Amino acid sequence: MAKTTVRTKRSGSQLSQEAIIDASLRLAARGSADAFTVRRLGEELGADPTAIYRHFRDKDELVLSVADRAYGEVLDGVPDGLSWQDRLRALARESFRVALKYPAVAAGTLSRTTRRPNEFRIVELILGAIAEAGLDGAAAAVHYRAWGDAMLAHVGQHAAYALYDPEIRAGDEGSWTREYRTVDPVRFPRITRLSAELAAVTTQQVFDVQVEALILAIANAGSSG
């Protein structure tokens, strides 16, 4: 008689916070929108879903811990020895890359404050760059918030968008070459005149313009302070 293989589920004592965070990031990297559900995590870990709560107080603690791990990956991509402008550019670039790598993490947490070590490291990096630009006190705080909020909004928006069904995204993206090129030229003369240019704009171009505008604002404020 053939033997039947039974896969037993691991108990909570066989798991760890790090293993659960790893599993959440694996799910998120596959484009899963439910990377934080205990059911999916239990399946990924081969564990009883309730065992996850032996390591995290609640779902919110898990979500914030996963986000902070992702922030660590952002920081790993920022080289040492850069000018303050290039440090901010690298931070922006890596924030965007990691957000699109783990869209469910970014979409669900970029409006949150993790209050954890890697978030503190990112804030310190931005404040250090702003200080090198010549800003301190209230001006430094305002420009830090302007930088952080703008970057979080942009990468969070695109992370959320990445979770939509591919057909929905294709329809939205194709509108620039379809609907926007066929609007009434009398009612919408500016759209008509720039329809080809609007269709040619890339996400990267928009992001680069936003980053450079923020860096210029910091530089200008620092030189006039």
DSSP secondary structure letter of residue 80: S
**pLDDT number for residue 145:** 98
Q: Is residue 101 located within the same domain as residue 17? A: no
**pLDDT number for residue 104:** 94
The count of domains in the chain is 2
pLDDT at residue 3 above 80?
A: no
CATH number of the domain bearing residue 117: 1.10.357.10
Q: Is residue 196 located within the same domain as residue 128? A: yes
Average pLDDT value for residue range 214-225: 94
Inter-residue contact 110 to 98 (CB < 8 Å): no
Q: Is residue 173 located within the same domain as residue 100? A: yes
pTM over 0.85? The answer is yes
Is position 151 within any domain? yes
d(CA 191, CA 68): 42
pLDDT at residue 70 above 90?
A: yes
Q: Is residue 152 located within the same domain as residue 173? A: yes
Burial classification of residue 210, based on how many CB atoms lie within 10 Å of its CB (0-12 exposed, 13-18 middle, 19 or more buried) = middle
* Model pLDDT for residues 188-204, shown as the tens digit of each residue: 999 999 999 999 999 99
Q: Is residue 168 located within the same domain as residue 85? A: yes
| Sign, Cα dihedral of 171, 177, 182, 184 | positive
Assign 134 to helix, strand or coil: coil
d(CA 55, CA 101): 25
- Amino acid letter for position 129: A
Q: Is residue 103 located within the same domain as residue 127? A: yes
Q: Is residue 30 located within the same domain as residue 116? A: no
Q: How confident is the model at residue 215 (pLDDT cuts 50, 70, 90)?
A: very high
Assign 136 to helix, strand or coil: coil
Q: Is residue 98 located within the same domain as residue 19? A: no
Tokens of 98: 């990691």
What are the φ and ψ backbone dihedral angles of 27, each rounded to 5 degrees? -65, -45
Is position 3 within any domain? no
Pick from 32, 19, 33: which is nearest to 66 by CA? 19
* Model pLDDT for residues 103-161, shown as the tens digit of each residue: 999 999 988 999 999 999 999 999 999 999 999 999 999 999 999 999 999 999 999 99
Domain interval for residue 14: 8-56
Q: Is residue 23 located within the same domain as residue 52? A: yes
